[in-house]
């Protein structure tokens, strides 16, 4: 019985097959992202949901559907099986009594990027990679640096100056070779690309969707949602979309689970939530296009979703089309107000990206796109405490001998 049932890599655009047993980046034929494919018949005959229920509560419980071949190659900090919790009070307020949060704030490194890093780093190390490099909006760089440190992999990370400051410190603490750029993630990506090209194969490009396994870690959010709901899917899933890897991953997970026969019925409608100041996917969706165009001068406080031209745009738009989903923007003012409402009504300090998805849920309920009786899951992709600046504090300072009465 194999730990992983990975069979090969397949180009997401042209379908060309690639060998999964050596480090790979984009499709050699058309330059598009590669997707991991599994022998699902072998998965079906070797494990079932009842057996999975008895496994350890981390994402490696789905190891047959993950790319790491050898259990000894697994680098883990205990990631996965984050809570799926009802939000009764807040849900009632916005007209969605069956609203739930999948809270990725409770995961090593404080963001869902831990999932992609755990699987991506484990597989890279297994395939003999010694140094990796990546552009990041902060959280992914922090996660890959920390998981890299645990795996003994060296990392070079390039991030915008404006990225959440704590993520720089996570990189430095883990011994990563960190560089800041006075620009956007797309500028960081160009710098990393040059480094990799000049490295003669010594530096592996671990950029979003330029390596095929980060998405495999992120797809486990979709598998967990299904398992936590008793192998059923909700009606709608809202996801704050930057590079879109989480959304593409959840879509991929749903397709694999349906093919396995572990879930049935219509897929959840997927919603790509973007900020008004950076909405290439929403613009493409509204214009009926299958790819996005570069969003000039992008800006938003929800820094993780400031991605002006996602490389997997066609996969995001395909996922929305195949699930009868939609794409929607929210303003920074709306998402910051929503962040306060969720904290005050539910005691959850969500990240600004997660707050954007809550603001979108409110808007889509108000417009009628989501019905009052629908089961809705919002992905909170990270911990609010990683972004201390989202809530200003003007509490009065008392003298040391002060009193309140």
The first and second tokens of residue 304, run together, are 């993780």
The answer to whether 17 contacts Zn ion (rule: CB under 5 A) is: no
DSSP string, 171-184: HHHTT-EEEEESS-
Residue 67 or residue 105: which is nearer to ligand PLP going by CB? Answer: 105
**For residues 47 and 358, which CB has a smaller minimum distance to ligand PLP in the complex?**
358
User: Could you write out the DSSP letters of every residue in 97-143?
Assistant: TTEEEEETTSSGGGBTHHHHHHHHHHHHHHTT--EEEEE-SSHHHHH
What's the CA gap between 287 and 298, in Å, rounded? 19
What's the rounded Cα separation, in Å, for the pair 141 and 172? 11
- The dihedral formed by the CA atoms of 162, 177, 243 and 295, expressed in degrees to the nearest 10: 50
- Between 13 and 115, CB nearer to Zn ion: 13
Q: Minimum distance between the CB of residue 197 and Zn ion, rounded to whole angstroms?
A: 20
Binding site partner of 27, from Zn ion, ligand PLP, none, Cβ cut-off 5-8 A by kind: Zn ion
Q: Using CA of residue 26, residue 27, residue 31, residue 32, what is the dihedral sign?
A: negative
Q: Which does 242 bind (CB under 5 to 8 A by kind): Zn ion, ligand PLP, none?
A: ligand PLP
298 scored as a contact of ligand PLP (CB under 6 A): no
Q: Return the residue of 17, 21, 30, 45 that touches Zn ion, per CB under 5 A.
A: 30
Residue 29 interacts with Zn ion (CB under 5 A): yes or no: yes
Tell which positions 64-123 bind ligand PLP, by CB under 6 A. Answer: 111, 113
If one asks whether residue 209 binds Zn ion (CB under 5 A), the answer comes out as no
For 35-51, the DSSP string reads: EEEE-HHHHHHH--HHH
Task: List the 6-11 sheet strands across, edge first.
Answer: 17-18, 6-11, 34-38
Q: Which of 7, 8, 16, 78 binds Zn ion (CB under 5 A)?
A: 16
Among 225, 382, 384, 390, binds ligand PLP (CB under 6 A): 382
Using CB under 6 A, which of the segments 82-90, 136-144, 170-178, 325-333 binds ligand PLP? 136-144
Cα(5)–Cα(1) distance, integer angstroms: 9
Say which entry of ligand PLP, Zn ion, none residue 298 contacts (CB below 5 to 8 A, set by partner kind).
Answer: none
Closest to 289 in 3D by CA, of 251, 257, 327: 327
Nearer to ligand PLP, 122 or 137 (CB): 137
Can residue 329 be called a binding residue for ligand PLP (CB under 6 A)?
no
Instruction: Tell the burial category of 274 from Cβ atoms under 10 Å away from its Cβ (0-12, 13-18, 19+).
Output: buried
Binding segment for ligand PLP (CB under 6 A), chosen from 82-90, 188-196, 241-249, 322-330, is 241-249
Task: Examine residue 28 and tell whether it contacts Zn ion (CB under 5 A).
Answer: no
By the criterion CB under 5 A, which residues form the site for Zn ion?
A: 11, 13-14, 16, 27, 29-30, 32
By the criterion CB under 6 A, which residues form the site for ligand PLP?
A: 111, 113, 137, 139-140, 208, 240-246, 304-305, 351, 353, 381-382
């Amino acid at each position: 019985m194999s730990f992983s049932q990975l069979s090969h890599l397949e180009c997401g655009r042209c379908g060309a097959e690639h060998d999964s047993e050596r480090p790979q980046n984009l499709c050699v034929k058309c330059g598009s992202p590669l997707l991991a494919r599994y022998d699902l018949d072998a998965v079906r005959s070797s494990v079932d949901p009842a057996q999975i229920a008895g496994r350890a509560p981390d994402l490696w419980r789905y190891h047959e559907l993950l790319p790491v071949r050898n259990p000894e190659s697994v680098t883990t900090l205990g990631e996965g099986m984050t809570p799926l919790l009802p939000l009764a009070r807040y849900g009632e307020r916005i007209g969605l009594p069956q609203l739930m949060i999948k809270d990725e704030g409770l995961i090593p490194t404080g963001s869902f990027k831990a999932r992609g890093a755990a699987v991506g780093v484990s597989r890279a190390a297994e395939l003999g990679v010694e140094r990796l490099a990546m552009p990041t909006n902060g959280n992914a760089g922090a996660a890959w640096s920390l998981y890299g440190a645990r795996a003994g992999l060296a990392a070079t990370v390039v991030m915008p100056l404006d990225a959440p400051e704590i993520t720089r410190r996570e990189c430095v603490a883990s011994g990563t070779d960190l560089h800041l750029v006075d620009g956007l993630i797309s500028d960081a990506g160009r710098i990393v690309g040059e480094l990799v090209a000049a490295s003669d194969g010594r530096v592996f490009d671990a950029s979003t969707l330029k390596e095929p396994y980060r998405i495999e870690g992120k797809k486990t959010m979709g598998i967990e949602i299904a398992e936590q709901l008793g192998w059923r899917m909700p009606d709608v899933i809202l996801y704050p979309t930057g590079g879109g890897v989480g959304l593409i991953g959840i879509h991929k997970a749903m397709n694999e689970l349906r093919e396995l026969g572990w879930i049935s019925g219509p897929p959840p409608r997927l919603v790509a939530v973007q900020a008004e100041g950076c909405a290439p996917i929403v613009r493409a969706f509204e214009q009926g296009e299958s790819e996005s165009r570069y969003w000039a001068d992008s800006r938003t406080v929800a820094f993780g979703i400031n991605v002006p031209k996602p490389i997997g745009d066609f996969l995001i738009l395909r996922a929305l089309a195949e699930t009868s989903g939609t794409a929607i923007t929210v303003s920074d003012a709306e998402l910051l107000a929503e962040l306060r409402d969720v904290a005050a009504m539910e005691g959850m300090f969500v990240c600004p990206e997660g707050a954007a998805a809550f603001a979108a849920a409110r808007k889509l309920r108000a417009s009628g796109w989501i019905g009052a009786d629908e089961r809705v899951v919002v992905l909170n992709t990270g911990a609010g405490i990683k972004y201390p600046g989202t809530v200003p504090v003007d509490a009065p300072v008392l003298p040391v001998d002060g009193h309140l009465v």
